């Protein structure tokens, strides 16, 4: 997901934690997606655990401080959430009284920043991500987070190792393209070329897999922009020799110096 999209997620949209599941299928709202193209996305269990830890720790502490300071009461144009209906809908209080039901799919990013619900301790934001002062975090604030992290890395002596959220999307695309290719090779290796072509026509290629995971409207965007680094490889040769070595180690070595890919800067040294 893009930074602005993940930053727009509200707590009622989060899936219920189930330690038996490895991934959780979620849906990005049209009103929060780039060019209004809402799409499914998959969140690993480790990420959900991290979010829950954040909610129970730093987020809860920030909310308590803001409530004690009366900060939420002073928010202009706030809307009160009267009820939520699973991950699909919400009932908001009307300015003139009463309530109106909205689909989360139609609630935009700016509106989400002004949504609060009442608890026994006072108002609390519905937005997942908060600043240290307890107020909802605007998506542009995450650029400052990356900037601060880059400065810390530089302070450790790793000069030139700069990362942004968009670079992480490129790395994600490469990882899942590699995995998709290897899995498809194992599944279809016994088929002839015509049979493999029939399979791709029926279920799509690895490009379509990555397109779905990145939330692109067009597979051409995935091919021409995000997976450009793979054009330097003969993928068929890679697959022919893939058995027996680590994809992670391979990617760390091959893409260590590529400007669009971020891997562990110490991986090659180790």
Give yes or no: residues 81 and 201 share one domain: no
Q: Is residue 126 part of a domain?
A: yes
Residue numbers of the domain that contains 15: 3-139
Residue 52 lies in a domain: yes
52-93, pLDDT tens digit by residue? 999 999 999 999 999 999 999 999 999 999 999 999 999 999
The model's confidence at residue 180, banded by pLDDT at 50, 70 and 90, is confident
Claim to verify: residue 178 and residue 87 sit in the same structural domain: no
Q: Are residues 230 and 124 in the same domain?
A: no
Q: How many domains does the chain have?
A: 2
Average pLDDT over residues 233-250: 56
Top pLDDT among 145 and 196 is at: 145
123 and 220 part of one domain: no
* Residues 208 and 80 placed together within one structural domain of the fold: no
In a domain, 263, yes or no: no
Q: Is residue 238 part of a domain?
A: yes
Per-residue pLDDT band for 114 (boundaries 50, 70, 90) equals very high
In a domain, 145, yes or no: no
Please tell me whether residues 17 and 83 are part of one structural domain: yes
Residues 173, 128 within the same domain: no
- What pTM, to 2 d.p., does this model score? 0.75
DSSP string for residues in the chain: --HHHHHT-BGGGSPPP-TT-SEEEEE--GGGSGGG---EEEEEHHHHHHHHHHIIIIIHHHHHHHHHTTTGGG-TT-EEEEEEETTTEEEEE-TTSSEEEEEGGG--HHHHTTEEEEETTEEEESBS-B-TTSSBPPTTHHHHHHHHHHHHHHHTT-TT----HHHHHHHHHHHHHHHHHHHHHHHHTTS-HHHHHHHHHHH--HHHHHHHHHT-S-HHHIIIIITGGGGGS-HHHHHHT-TTS-HHHHHHHHTTT-TT----TTTTT-
Is 14 in the same domain as 128? yes
Residue 41 and residue 121 in one domain? yes
Q: Do 129 and 184 fall into the same domain?
A: no
Please check whether residue 31 lies inside any domain of the structure: yes
Same domain, yes or no, for 134 and 16? yes
Please write the tens of the pLDDT for every residue from 17-54.
Answer: 888 889 998 999 999 999 899 999 989 999 999 999 99
With respect to residue 268, please indicate whether it lies within any of the assigned structural domains.
no
Q: Same structural domain for residues 135 and 8? A: yes
**Does residue 184 fall inside a structural domain?**
yes
């Amino acid at each position: 997901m893009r930074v602005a999209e993940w930053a727009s997620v509200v707590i009622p949209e989060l899936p219920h934690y189930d330690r038996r599941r490895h991934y959780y299928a979620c849906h990005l709202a049209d009103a929060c997606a780039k060019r209004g193209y809402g799409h499914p996305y998959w969140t690993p269990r480790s990420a959900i655990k991290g979010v829950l830890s954040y909610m129970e720790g730093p987020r809860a502490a920030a909310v308590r401080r803001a409530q004690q300071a009366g900060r939420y009461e002073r928010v202009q144009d706030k809307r009160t959430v009267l009820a939520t209906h699973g991950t699909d809908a919400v009932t908001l209080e009307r300015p003139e009284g009463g309530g109106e039901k909205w689909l989360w799919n139609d609630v935009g990013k700016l509106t989400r920043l002004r949504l609060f619900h009442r608890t026994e301790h006072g108002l609390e934001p519905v937005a997942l991500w908060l600043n240290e002062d307890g107020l909802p975090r605007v998506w542009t604030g995450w650029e400052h987070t990356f900037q601060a992290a880059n400065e810390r890395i530089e302070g450790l002596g790793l000069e030139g190792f700069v990362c942004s959220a968009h670079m992480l999307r490129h790395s994600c695309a490469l990882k899942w393209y590699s995995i998709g290719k290897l899995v498809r090779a194992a599944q279809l290796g016994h088929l002839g070329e015509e049979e493999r072509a029939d399979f791709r026509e029926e279920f799509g290629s690895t490009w379509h897999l990555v397109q779905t995971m990145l939330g692109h409207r067009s597979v051409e965007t995935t091919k021409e922009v995000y997976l450009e680094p793979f054009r330097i490889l003969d993928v068929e040769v890679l697959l022919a020799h893939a058995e027996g070595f680590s994809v992670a180690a391979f990617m760390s070595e091959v893409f260590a110096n590529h400007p669009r890919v971020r891997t562990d800067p110490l991986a090659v040294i180790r």
